[in-house]
Structure 1
Amino acid sequence: MDDTGRVMDRRAIGFDAEWTRPSVLGGALVDVLLTVDADALPGSAARPVWRSWRAGPPLRPGSWRGLSTAAKKAWQTLALDLREPGPDRSGGEYHVDGRAVEDEAGLHCAIGEALLGPGGYYGWGWDALSDCLGGGFGLVPPFTLHWHDFAATERELAEEHAPAGGLGYPEELARELERHGVTVVRA
């Protein structure tokens, strides 16, 4: 929960009751040992992100920069879960800084921030981006996205998504945006 008592994240975790026995406190109380699968718990990368969002979504652009990939994924989960979508709007010009992108998760953080402001969510991967383009996330095409230093994004993600003679992830993403009616200006 954040500082105002609002739920920041919900996780369904199963647990097993390993044993029960009369409580050491006596009376009708029972002691129970519960175990949980560690894979169901959020990783340690989520903790600093949760701390930074406790007072609410970030106000400063680029607060996600420099985080690990796992932390950026936790960032995007909070951005999705804590968003307060208003009615969808269209139009406008938006700017994403391609130099700030270190990995695919960072690219999606950068796009969400460019389109919806700090802490904005506009998909955390390919399918989620397509969902956002269909409406319900605050902005629908047509609009214009100026992708500054596009070549820097391509270079940075080349190792993560080495195209074997094909398009790199940034170019594929730009083309997907264009197929949905977004004008992508690669600069």
Structure 2
Amino acid sequence: MCVEVWDGEQPVQWWTLVDAVVLACQPHPADPERYDIVLGAGVRNEEGFFGLPVRPRFELFVGTASAGRCSGVDGLFRPRADPAPVPMELIGCEPAEPLLAALRRPRRSERDWASLLVLDRHGAVMASHLVGLAITGARPSVLGGTLVDITLTDGGDDRPSPATRPIWAEWYQGPPAEPNLWAPYDSRGRDAWLDLTTRAWRMPAPRPDRSGGEHHLDGRFVTDAAGLHCAIAEALLGPGRYFGREWNSFKDCLSGGFGVTPPFTLTWRNSEIARRALADVVDDPKDGRSYFEDIVRLLEQSGATVDLR
């Protein structure tokens, strides 16, 4: 969930509630049409700390959809300690400039940042990770030779989870050449798969879009939103390709510049699996459409013919 703090006609602060769970809910004492809700959640402040406006208004969002508003929020405006940095070990480094300079003067590099590129066995970039060059220590590598092992003071907060290791191992052999290799993973694993398709998508020059024809979507494994986008991208472009990872980016892809653009026909086999699995996934509570219905409607509004089977 996202909580926006409004001052007059504009939002001045954004808070993200991570893994939010409703702990209690009861009618508001002064207005039975309203509710007092207690949430348990991790809290992340997306903007600087402004403090509470004189007459604040609080807007709630789930994804991009409005989830209502409330007259007061307690528990957000309080000091929170930053989490301690988690070091990162770089094993078997063959340093070049400017890393050598950072090793000679580690204190001067505390504010320097570098991109750590993850390469597959063919040398293509699979992923990238931003790391700080504040160095805690360096020593001869356990791998021997002239290599060195380096400890970075802070390895950043967006490093991949251990659950992504088998997915990275699969992509390390090269971009996937077979369909449905993402299917055995859970939703978190499928999100990691989409991360790699997003980063692997590089377009040095605009590619001509293809229109027309019929594309076949294998819906046997579409049991969540991430799986839906994995399957649609494979149907339109092939395994390991990118064609959006949520509603907004999917809409952008349908507008052109990503290899395929409507009009075309999408034959969606076993579509009932996605319809049932995504029946309770609703981005906009006001219109009540499920995520499956929203995607089908977006395709049709963009000029595609969707044949649900």
Q: TM-score, normalised by structure 1?
A: 0.83
2:187 aligned to which of 69, 83, 90: 69
Q: Is 1:182 the equivalent of 2:300?
A: no
Confirm whether residue 123 of structure 1 aligns to residue 244 of structure 2: yes
User: Deviations for 1:88-122, whole angstroms, at most 9, x for unmatched residues?
Assistant: 11111111122311211000000001111111221
**Does the alignment pair 1:139 with 2:257?**
no
Whether contact under 8 Å (1:13, 1:40) holds in the other structure is no
Higher RCO structure, 1 or 2 (CA under 8 Å, sep 6+): 1
The answer to whether 1:107 aligns with 2:228 is yes
1:58 Cα deviation after fit: 1.0
Structure 1 residue 59 and structure 2 residue 177: aligned? yes
Counterpart residue number, 1:29 = none
Q: Residue 62 and residue 40 in structure 1: after superposition, are their counterparts in 2 closer, same or farther (change >3 A)?
A: same
Alignment of 1:162-177 (within 5 A): 166-177=288-299
- Is this contact kept in 2: 1:15–1:37, CA < 8 A? no
> Which whole-Å CA distance do the structure 1 matches of 2:130 and 2:218 have between them?
36
Q: Report the equivalent of 1:88.
A: 209
Q: Do the aligned partners of 2:167 and 2:192 also contact (CA within 8 Å) in 1?
A: yes
- Separation in structure 2 between the aligned mates of residue 111 and residue 163 of structure 1, nearest angstrom: 22
Instruction: Kindly indicate whether the alpha-carbon contact (under 8 Å) linking 1:89 and 1:138 is maintained by their aligned counterparts in 2.
Output: yes
Give the Cα separation in 2 of the matches to 1:16 and 1:70: 31
**Pairs aligned (count):** 179
User: Quick one: which amino acid aligns to residue 168 of structure 1?
Assistant: S
Equivalent residues of 2:280, 2:290 under 8 A apart: no
| Displacement after TM superposition at 1:160 (Å) | 4.2
**Paired residue secondary structure (1:66):** coil
Higher strand fraction: Structure 1 or Structure 2? 2
Matched residues in 1 for 2:165 and 2:197: separation? 15
* Structure 1 gap segments, 5+ residues each: 26-31
1:40 to 2:158 alignment:
yes
Q: Distance in 1 between matches of 2:189 and 2:237?
A: 20
8 Å CA contact retained: 1:45, 1:68: no
Paired letter, 2:273: A
How far residue 158 of structure 1 moved from its aligned partner, in angstroms, is 2.3
Return 73-82 or 175-184, whichever deviates more: 73-82
> For residues 283 and 180 of structure 2, what CA distance do their matches in structure 1 show?
26
User: Does residue 272 of structure 2 align to residue 154 of structure 1?
Assistant: no
Distance 2:158 2:291 in 1: 29
Provide the residue aligned with 1:28 in structure 2. Answer: none
Q: State the superposition RMSD in angstroms.
A: 2.6
Residue identity over aligned pairs, in percent, reads 43
CA pair 39-175 structure 1, distance change in 2 beyond 3 A: same
